[in-house]
Amino acid sequence: MESASATLDQLTTGDTGAERDQLQLVTFEVGKEEFAIDILSVQEINRMMDLTRVPQSPPEVEGVINLRGRIIPVIDLRKRFNMDRGERDQHSRIVVVEVKGRVLGFIVDRVHEVLRIDRKIVDAPPSMVSSVDSDFIAGVGKLPDRLLILLDLDKLFASEVLGAADIAMQRAS
Amino acid sequence: MFDPEILQDFLTECGELLEQLDSELVALESTPQDPELLNKVFRALHTIKGSGSFLALTNLVGIAHAAEEALNAARRGDVVIDRSVMDLLLEAVDLLRKQFVELEAGTPLTAPRQELVDALTRVGAGDKVAAASAAGGADPTAPAQSASLAEAASPVAAEGDEFTLPESKADLLEFMVADLDETLARLDAQIDALRSETERDTISGEISHICESLARSVEFFEFSPMSALVSVLEISSERLGQLDDDCLDQVTPRLKAVVELLRRQTEGLRHRRLLPCDASELGGRVVDLVLGHAIDEAAHLGKDADIDTVLRIDGVVMAWSGAGSGDASDPVEDELGLQTSMIEEKAPAMESAAGVGGSAEPGPEGSGGPTRIEQTIRVEVSRLESLLNLVGELVLQKNRVGAMARHIVREDLVTQDLREAVAQSSSDLDRVTSDIQVAVMRTRMQSLDKLFGKYPRLIRDLSRKTDKKINLVIEGGDTEVDKSVIEELGDPLVHLLRNSADHGVEPPADRAAAGKSETGTIKLKASQQGDHVLVQIIDDGRGLDRDKLIAKAIEKGLISEDEGASMSDRDAHRLIFLPGFSTAAEVSDLSGRGVGMDVVRTNIEKLKGAIDLESAPGMGTTLSIRIPLTVAIMPAMMVGVGSELYAVPLTNILEIVRPEADLVSTINGRRVMRLRDTVLPLVSMSELFEQAQDNREVEQFAVVVELNEQRAGLMVSRLIGQQEIVIKPLDGILADSGAVSGATVRDDGGVSLIVDIARVIRTAQEVKAAMAA
C-alpha cells in the first residue's frame, strides 16, 4: 500500500518536473495499427458500456453515455478512420478525452500502455504512413521495434470535420 | 489597460443603472417634475460618470457629465424636460450603452457628438444663474445633510495614504489639481471678504457657487475625504448670510481651516497621495454653528485664531501637512491594491448619499452624488450552473435510491428494519432534494421587469417614428422566471411588440374614424400559472384580417385554395406562424426584417413553450406565450420503443390511449386513428427514430401529445412511468440529430433521449398534408 503511493508520488513529481523533451503518451490499438495521444488530454479510460443511440446523428457517432451526470458523445474510431467495423470484446475501451473544452469519448480495440518517449524520435507525419488520413496525424514516433502514430485530437474531433463527414455521406447517398 | 476585475465591476454595476435609465427617462417624460424620479436618474448618471472617470474613460465621462448637468438643471426646476430635452437625454443614454458595448469588446470608445454635448450643456447652463441667486435661501434638509456628513467624514481616517493612478488618468488628475488650486484660492479670498457686512449676502452666494463646482470636481474623482470637507463648505455657505458677527467669528476661521485642509489634500494629490484626515469634529462644529446650535465652551476660538489653533482645538489629525515635503518620489508599485482601496472607499460615500435620498425633499446639492445601491447578491452564473448540475445529480441519486428501495422490498433476505430504513431514507432524500431544487431555482429566478423595463423606450421610439399614439401598459412585471428564460424571451418579445405597434395599432386618424380613442394601447401582461408563466401582448388595434391572411398564404403556396376556403378563423390567424409568411404589404423599417413570426415561434418552442394568438377584426390582437418557469428539470413520461427508452415531456401529454384495431385506418399510406370525434394523425416512434427492423416491437399505445393546439398520437410499445427528469444538453455535433431536444439520465443510470414534441407535431402535420393530397 505504502510503496504504491510512493510510486505514485514519484510519478506525479516527475510530471510536474516536466522534462520538456519527453512526451508521455497513452497508446492504443485500432484495426491492427498502434496510435498514441498525449496523456494530458485523456480524462479517463472506461470499459465498454451501454450506449444510447442518437437517431440521425453523424454516422461516426456511436451514441451517448452518462459520464457521472454528463452526457457525452462516443465516437467509433474505426468508423472515423473508415475501417471495417470490428467486433467489440472484453478488450474494447472508451477513451474519454477533452478537446477544446468539449468532453467526448472514442472507442478503441484495446489500450496498450502509458509510454514516455523522447520528443526527438518524433517525426513530422509522412504523407503515406497508415490507412489514416494524414491530416489527423500529429507525428510519427519511431520506437526501436515499431512505429507509433501520434494523433491530433483537435483535428480528429473538430465539430466541423465531423459535420462535413456527415454531409459527405448524405451527398453520397 | 485596466484591472479586468474593476472593469467588470464597472460594467456590471453601471450596466444595471444604464438598463434602468431607459425606462426611467421614458417615465420622466410623462411626469417631468417628479423629484424622486429626477433624483434617481441624476444619481444613476452621476455614478456612471464617477466610476467612468475613475477608469479614465474620457469619452464616456464627457457625455455622462453633460447629461448629468442637464438633469441637474431639471432637478432645480430651471428646465422642464420636454420632448426635445428628452431626445437629447435618450441619445446620450444610447451613446453610453454603445460605449459600454465597446468597452466590453475592448474597442476604443465612440466620442460624443459635439452638438449633443453642447446642447445638453446649454440645458444644464440654465441652472448656474438660477442656482447662484437661489443659493442664499434656507435649506430645510440641512439637518439631514449634517447627519450624513458625520457618516461621510468619520471613516476617512481609516483610508490609505498613498496611491498611484493608471497612466491614462494622470492627465486628468493634473488638470484637477490645477483647477483645485485656483478654486481654493478664490474661496479663501471670499471667506476673508465675509467680514464686510454689507456684501455678506452676495459673497455667501458666491461661496456657495464656488463650493458647488468644487464639489463636482471632487466627486469626479470620488475622493471621499475631500468630498466630506467640501460638503462642510457647501452646507455652511448657504447660511453664511444670516449669521451674526459673533457666530461668524467662530465660523470663518474654521472655514478657512477647511479650505486649508483641502489645499493640503490637493498638494497631496499632486504627489499621488490621499491623506488620512479625520475632520469630523471640525465639520460637525461648523454645521452646528451655522444652524445656530451652541458648541462646547472649550471649543470657542479666540479672536483671529490661526489655522493651526483651529485644527488643534477641533482635533483634526492629518498625517502629512507640509506641502511638498513628503516623500513623493517613493514609488508605489501596488497599483491594484490602491484601486481596490479606492473602490472600497466609495462605500461610505454611498451610505451618505442614501441618507440624503431618504429625506423628503433632497436639497439641490447633496453631500455626495453616488446612487443608492440596492442590497443584492451577485452570483456568478457559472457557479449557479454547477450548483444546478449538482442538484440534478441529487435528483438522479434520489431516483436511484428509490429504485433500490423498490428492489430491496421485494427480497426476502432483508429484515423489516432495513426495509423501513431504506424507505425512510428514500422519502427523506425525496423531501430534501425537492427543497434544494426549489431553493436553487429561486437563485436563478429573475423578475420579468428586467426585460419589460426596456420596452417603454421601444414603444416610445416606435410611436414617434410611425406618428402613432401608443400607450404601453405593463402588468405583472414582478413575475419571476428562470434567468435562461429571460435571456431567450427578450428577442421574441421585442419582435412581437414591434409587430403590435407597427401592424396592430392604427394611425390616430384611422382610429378616430373607427370610433376608437386616438391613442392605442398595448398591454404587456405576465402572470404565473402553476409551473408556467403566461406572457400576453394585447393590442386594441385593427386585428388580423382573415381573408387577407388566407389570400397571402395561397399566393405564397403555403396552403391550397380549398384549404383556405374551409379554414376556421383560428387556423387562418395561425397562418402567420408558418415559415415564409409575412403580413406587412411593404417591408417596413420596424418589423418587416425578413424574420417572421415563425422565428418567434421557433424561439419560444426552444424554451419548451407555446405561442398562440386570438384576434377580432377592429378589436385587436392578443398574443399569448406560455413558457415553463424553468428549463432545467421537468416531469416526463418514460416510454419504451423496442429496446430503447425515451422521455416524453409530461406537459405536452393530453392522454394515453390503446387504440382498438378498428379505430386505426390508413389513408394514403399514413396511419390515423379516430379519437372520439376527431381524427388523430399517428407517428410511429420506431419509424421516427429509424430503429433497426430487428429491434421493432408492436406499438400498442398512442401517447396523445399537443403543442400549440395541434395534436398527434405518438405510437410506443411500452409505458414505463412518470419521472422528474433533469435535462442535459447534447454535444454540439449532435445538434442536428433527429427529433430529440436533449437527454436525461434514468434511474438505472442509463441515458434516455427526450422527444422533441415540436418535431413530432410537424411530422404529424406532414401526415395530415399527405392525407389531404
Shortest Cα distance from A60 to chain B (angstroms)?
11
Contact with chain A for residue B734, Cβ under 8 A: yes
Confidence at residue B701, expressed as pLDDT on a 0 to 100 scale: 92
DSSP classification of residue B27: H
DSSP A13-36: HHHHH--TTEEEEEEEEETTEEEE
Residue B699 to residues A15, B367, B477, B642, B716: CA-CA distances in angstroms? 56, 77, 46, 9, 5
Contacts of B690 in chain A (CB under 8 A): 55-56
Residue B174 to residues B132, B167, B180, B262, B635: CA-CA distances in angstroms? 28, 11, 10, 16, 64
Contacts of B393 in chain A (CB under 8 A): 68-69
pLDDT confidence bin for A144, thresholds 50/70/90? confident
Contact with chain A for residue B688, Cβ under 8 A: yes
Assigned fold of B633-772: SH3 type barrels. (2.30.30)
Confidence at residue B195, expressed as pLDDT on a 0 to 100 scale: 75
Residue A110 has pLDDT above 80, yes or no: yes
CA angle B581, B455, B497 (to 5 degrees): 20
β partners of residue B624: B536, B612
Helix (H), strand (E) at residue B380: none
Distance CA B170, CA B175 (A): 9
With a CB-CB cutoff of 8 Å, which residues 96-115 of chain A face chain B? 102, 104
Contacts of A58 in chain B (CB under 8 A): 733-734
Cβ-based neighbour number of residue B681 at 10 Å: 24
Contact with chain B for residue A129, Cβ under 8 A: no
Confidence at residue B323, expressed as pLDDT on a 0 to 100 scale: 37
- Give the chain B residue whose CA is nearest to the CA of A163: B733
Contacts of A159 in chain B (CB under 8 A): 732-733
Shortest Cα distance from B396 to chain A (angstroms)?
8
Identify the CATH homologous superfamily for domain B458-544+583-628: Histidine kinase-like ATPase, C-terminal domain (3.30.565.10)
Looking up cell 479625520, which residue turns up?
Answer: B278
C-alpha cell at B533: 408563466
Contact with chain B for residue A52, Cβ under 8 A: yes
> Residues with Cβ < 8 Å from A12, sequence gap 6 or more?
none
ipTM over 0.90: no
- b/e map of B177-192 (b: 16 or more CB within 10 Å)? beebeebbeebbebbe
Domains of chain B, residue spans: 1-129, 138-319+334-360, 381-446, 458-544+583-628, 633-772
- b/e map of B300-334 (b: 16 or more CB within 10 Å)? ebeeebebeebbebbebebebbeeeebeeeeeeee
Contact with chain B for residue A50, Cβ under 8 A: yes
Domain B1-129 class in CATH: mainly alpha
Cβ contact, residue pair A163, B730, below 8 Å: no
With a CB-CB cutoff of 8 Å, which residues 192-221 of chain B face chain A? none
Of B690, B749, B751, the CB nearest to A64: B751
Please choose, from the candidates B311, B324, B312, B308, the residue with its C-alpha nearest in 3D space to the C-alpha of residue B273: B324
Domain A19-172 class in CATH: mainly beta
Question: How many CA within 13 A on the CB side of residue B730?
Answer: 27
Contact with chain A for residue B177, Cβ under 8 A: no
Shortest Cα distance from B754 to chain A (angstroms)?
11
Distance CA B360, CA B309 (A): 39
β partners of residue A76: A107
Confidence at residue B653, expressed as pLDDT on a 0 to 100 scale: 92
Q: Are B522 and B504 in contact (CB under 8 A)?
A: yes
Confidence at residue B770, expressed as pLDDT on a 0 to 100 scale: 66
Contacts of B389 in chain A (CB under 8 A): 69
Residue B505 to residues B464, B466, B510, B511, B542: CA-CA distances in angstroms? 13, 10, 10, 8, 6
Shortest Cα distance from B401 to chain A (angstroms)?
16
Q: Is B381-446 assigned to CATH 1.10.287?
A: yes
Confidence at residue A160, expressed as pLDDT on a 0 to 100 scale: 58
pLDDT confidence bin for A131, thresholds 50/70/90? low
Cβ contact, residue pair A69, B745, below 8 Å: yes
Of A66, A70, A163, the CB nearest to B733: A163
Residue type, A110: R
Contact with chain B for residue A57, Cβ under 8 A: yes
Contacts of B738 in chain A (CB under 8 A): 54-57
Cβ contact, residue pair A57, B728, below 8 Å: no
Confidence at residue B160, expressed as pLDDT on a 0 to 100 scale: 42
Confidence at residue A42, expressed as pLDDT on a 0 to 100 scale: 93
Confidence at residue B412, expressed as pLDDT on a 0 to 100 scale: 66
Please choose, from the candidates B713, B613, B740, B742, the residue with its C-alpha nearest in 3D space to the C-alpha of residue B653: B713
DSSP B671-739: EEEEETTEEEEEEEHHHHTT--GGG-----EEEEEEETTEEEEEEESEEEEEEEEE-BPPPGGGTT-SS
Cβ-based neighbour number of residue B13 at 10 Å: 16
Contacts of B750 in chain A (CB under 8 A): 50, 52, 66
> Residues with Cβ < 8 Å from B466, sequence gap 6 or more?
B501, B502, B507, B590
Cβ contact, residue pair A73, B730, below 8 Å: yes
Burial of A170 (0-12, 13-18, 19+ CB in 10 A): exposed
Distance CA B203, CA B248 (A): 13
Distance CA A28, CA B132 (A): 85
More confident residue, B765 or A17: B765
Residue ranges of chain B whose pLDDT lies below 70? 1-5, 126-172, 220-225, 273-274, 276-277, 297, 303-304, 317-380, 382-383, 386, 409-414, 421, 428, 431-432, 438-439, 582-595, 631, 770-773
Q: Give which of A71, A96, A97, A173 to mutate to test B binding, by max B Cβ within 10 Å.
A: A71
Q: Are A106 and A83 in contact (CB under 8 A)?
A: no
pLDDT tens digits, B682-714: 999 888 888 888 777 888 899 999 887 788 999
Please report how the helices B416-444 and B381-410 are oriented relative to each other, as an axis angle in degrees rounded to 10: 160
DSSP classification of residue A87: P
